[in-house]
Amino acid sequence: MTETHFATRASISGHTQVVVILAHPVGHIRTPAAMNAHFAAAGQDAVIVPMHVQPDDLAAVVDGLRRLRNLGGIIVTVPHKETIAALCDDLTDQARLVGAVNAIRVQPDGRLLGGQFDGEGFCAGLVAAGHAIRGRRIWMAGAGGAAAGIAFALLRQGAGALAIHNRGAARAEVLVARLRHAFPGREIAAAGADPADHDIVVNATSLGLHPGDALPVDCTRMTPGMLAAEVVMQPEVTPFLRAAAAIGCATHPGLPMLTEQVPILARFVTARDWAAG
């Protein structure tokens, strides 16, 4: 799917709610097209625009955005999801648990409330495609903001076991400790790059986004019958998915995570009847 498949809004006025998405870089992001199509289809006078923000400039940008009186909300993507949590005035329960934010709403008093919906979107995308989560043994690459959200969601959905691999092993251990605290008695462990003996293999890193990226997993250890699931949306078929398909694995692309999140994100950042929780 390309951005030309998404509908666009007819006009922007002084009454339009402006939503921004903060990213670095911005060329690959699909969220603006998807959310603008949602706003147009819903007849909602809102628009989302991308802003390319370097990590060192994030705090200054957020401080400036606070001063915009027509700011509807903020969407947050790589690499800002964890850093921006500390710049919010409050967090939803889920964002606080995960330690990362991918959407911010402006409260009536001007305070910024951060929320986290990556895991909800990822799991909803799997289920919508007919892939069961409950009881499945899952190996996941990544321990960053999106990965943490996905890990908590997979366990809430009843994953039978979760192994987490990260290039920085210490970061995986920290996430595992937090997950074990939230889900006592569950089978949760840090892991190496070998996904053997698992049912679902998830790439929750940005590897595959840029040409020449290393594979996130040792695909030679994957076998037919496994499901390879991706969070990277562009390209639609990543090197990881291509390698898994060549082995005979089923594949699940990254775009459904966004597609399932769009209505949730749109309501969170623009609706005035959303309740924190």
81 is catalytic: yes
Catalytic residue among 30, 38, 80, 81: 81
Q: What is the 3-state secondary structure (H, E, C) of the chain?
A: CCHHHCCCCCCCCCCCEEEEEEECCCCCCCHHHHHHHHHHHHCCCEEEEEEECCHHHHHHHHHHHCCCCCEEEEEECCCCCCHHHHHCCEECHHHHHHCCCCEEEECCCCCEEEECCHHHHHHHHHHHCCCCCCCCEEEEECCCHHHHHHHHHHHHCCCCEEEEECCCHHHHHHHHHHHHHHCCCCEEEECCCCCCCCCEEEECCCCCCCCCCCCCCCHHHCCECEEEEECCCCCCCCHHHHHHHHHCCEEECCHHHHHHHHHHHHHHHHCCCCCCC
> Is the separation of the CB atoms in 170 and 143 below 8 Å?
no
Tell me which residues are annotated as active site: 81
